[in-house]
Amino acid sequence: MSKYVFVTGGVVSSLGKGITAGSIGTLLKKRGLKVSNLKIDPYLNVDAGTMNPFQHGEVFVTDDGAETDLDLGHYERFIDESLSERNSITTGKIYSSVIKKERRGDYLGGTVQVIPHITNDIQERIIKAAEGLDVLVVEIGGTVGDIEGQPFLEAIRQMAVRVGRENVVYCHVTLMPYLEAAKELKTKPTQHSVQELRRIGILPNMLVCRTSHPMDEGMKHKIALFCDVPPEAVIEVRDEPTIYNVPMSLHKQGLDDLILKYLGLPDDTEPDLSDWLKVVDRFMNSPEVVNIALVGKYVQHKDAYLSVVEALYHAGIAHSVRVNIVSVEAEDLEKGDPAAILKFADGILIPGGFGVRGVEGMILAARYARENNVPLFGICLGMQMMVVEFARNVCSLPDAHSKEMNPAAMNPVIHLMEEQEGIHDKGGTMRLGAYPCDLAEGTKSAQAYGTMHITERHRHRYEFNNVYRERLEKSGLKVAGVCTERNLVEIVELPGHIWYVGGQFHGEYKSRPTRPHPLFDGFIEAAVRFMRAKAKEA
């Protein structure tokens, strides 16, 4: 039978619960267990697909096409497993399914209530996600005390009754604020949030305390006493220079030993964390720096391009260079001189996005990179704008549609396919999840992947328009990847350019700290070459 670690949060949000949950997953997997992670988001949206990246950061897409919370990205990177729709639960999903069952008459005239109907549905989904696993790590989004989180907390409380208290660990992540005036860390907010948990019947087994200052033994004993946990179960997490150091930090404090002990699992093996140590060492100590311009439209939100940023770091780690990512607001390129703004860059990445704002700036960035032989990597909208730029400025294909009609497709080379016509930018059909792609011989992509057949994750409506393929290819654009079964162009390249690769898919979702995504790897490799050549010239 599967066992469970429930991760809750207290005092404030943004404590790094997702990274804690992912790190627990990493450590348990390294102890030889079959592990996965599940995220519960108490918001009413059915999935994260409709959420604005300015408010909520990136939408993470799984192989099976689920649009999920960005924490699933952390999990995949930490536990190195591909997750699915099952690994993400929202209030919207739960209520939709319970109401659907009610309409079908499944409840046989009964009164349908939060307890037990909603809480049962939650538990059944948790149990389903744990099928075949030794341990499922479940993170409850939000903060203890939030109204919308209550059914989930009640459900995880009942889980201990359902599967046995010895098969469940409650781990509470909390904040230890430092008061400058008093020059000390304060435990009271943690005490209060633990009280709140206990009030609803959850007695946490361990506390993970986020602090900016070290906690001494006396303080750990005080928290232990007030919160009714053993002192060794008070774990400190300081702000780390890289999130990839968190598993090591938790392991040093015995967190995984403690979880195994609570769950009655053997703890006689030491986890082999050497690959993670290497990741952290290279991240921290690589001497050279490559400067990458991230030309996007959601650059003010720190998490809007989270997986892209992580994938760039992974590639930097593989090449022993530090990647300095400079966000460039695409619209600023429309107002200023793109060459002056982008001069610093050893590589330019244009990521995905929705809507028309900023696309002209992306086109200017693509042109600058193409004309100046600067490494360029376009992802989804970025790839589409590379094709539009090429069509306009190399093939002299005039723009066809008004921006209002066709926001991402200002030139006929990018279009909505016939079966999609009439579907607008909300809801409707998107190409979501994993699709196969065949690569062309002799291309940079084929070389980077080291194979001719790949699978990548998609999230978009517009496509490369095959009507113009021949004309674009005659002008020098190379189609380097095609989804053969649907005859869709997935990758474009420019032969002879240092690195000009645009992909219709989001490779960043599949990048891992120890295994960078091939196209990010190739892009950073080219940026390093560019940087070194520039340094030699200077």
Q: Which is nearer to ligand GLN, 275 or 425 (CB)?
A: 425
Distance CA 378, CA 448 (A): 15
Count each helix (H run) and each strand (E run) in the chain, helices first.
19, 22
Q: Is 462 in the site for ligand GLN (CB under 6 A)?
A: yes
Spatial contact of 200 and 211, defined as CB atoms under 8 Å apart: no
Single out the segment in contact with ligand GLN by CB under 6 A; choices: 156-164, 301-309, 459-467, 492-500: 459-467
The single residue of 58, 196, 360, 508 carrying the catalytic annotation is 508
Q: Is 408 in the site for ligand GLN (CB under 6 A)?
A: yes
Torsion angle of the four alpha carbons 129, 132, 134, 137, in this order, in degrees rounded to the nearest 10: -10
Q: Which residues share a beta bridge with 506?
A: none
Asked about 154 being catalytic, the answer comes back as no
Distance CA 231, CA 225 (A): 8
Q: How many residues bind ligand GLN (CB under 6 A)?
A: 10
Distance CA 27, CA 21 (A): 10
DSSP state of 344: T
Nearest to 232 by CA among 215, 253, 247, 248: 253
Per residue in 238-262, is it b (16+ CB within 10 Å) or e — as a string? eeeeebbbbbbebbebebbebbbeb
Q: Is 137 in the site for ligand GLN (CB under 6 A)?
A: no
Single out the segment in contact with ligand GLN by CB under 6 A; choices: 23-31, 233-241, 338-346, 454-462: 454-462
Per residue in 508-520, is it b (16+ CB within 10 Å) or e — as a string? bbbbbbeebbbbb
Q: Is 530 in the site for ligand GLN (CB under 6 A)?
A: no
Q: Is 353 in the site for ligand GLN (CB under 6 A)?
A: yes
Q: How far is the CB of 459 from ligand GLN (least distance, A)?
A: 5
Nearest to 67 by CA among 99, 93, 35: 93
Q: Which is nearer to ligand GLN, 354 or 390 (CB)?
A: 354
Nearest to 431 by CA among 380, 384, 389: 380
Q: Is 29 in the site for ligand GLN (CB under 6 A)?
A: no
Q: Is 520 in the site for ligand GLN (CB under 6 A)?
A: no
Q: Which is nearer to ligand GLN, 78 or 464 (CB)?
A: 464
Q: Is 57 in the site for ligand GLN (CB under 6 A)?
A: no
Nearest residue to ligand GLN, by Cβ distance, number only: 352
Q: Is 352 in the site for ligand GLN (CB under 6 A)?
A: yes
Q: Is 460 in the site for ligand GLN (CB under 6 A)?
A: yes
Asked about 506 being catalytic, the answer comes back as yes
Spatial contact of 377 and 498, defined as CB atoms under 8 Å apart: no
Label the pairing between strands 414-415 and 376-379.
unpaired
Q: Which of 39, 322, 461, 478 binds ligand GLN (CB under 6 A)?
A: 461
Q: Which is nearer to ligand GLN, 119 or 411 (CB)?
A: 411
Give the pair of three-digit tokens for residue 158. Answer: 């009942």
The single residue of 380, 458, 493, 525 carrying the catalytic annotation is 380
Q: Is 3 in the site for ligand GLN (CB under 6 A)?
A: no
Asked about 319 being catalytic, the answer comes back as no
**One-letter amino acid for residue 427 of the chain:** G
The single residue of 319, 506, 517, 525 carrying the catalytic annotation is 506
Site residues for ligand GLN, 374-403, by CB under 6 A, read 380-381
Single out the segment in contact with ligand GLN by CB under 6 A; choices: 204-212, 309-317, 458-466, 522-530: 458-466
Q: Is 338 in the site for ligand GLN (CB under 6 A)?
A: no
Residues that bind ligand GLN (CB under 6 A): 352-354, 380-381, 408, 459-462
| Residue positions annotated with a catalytic role | 380, 506, 508
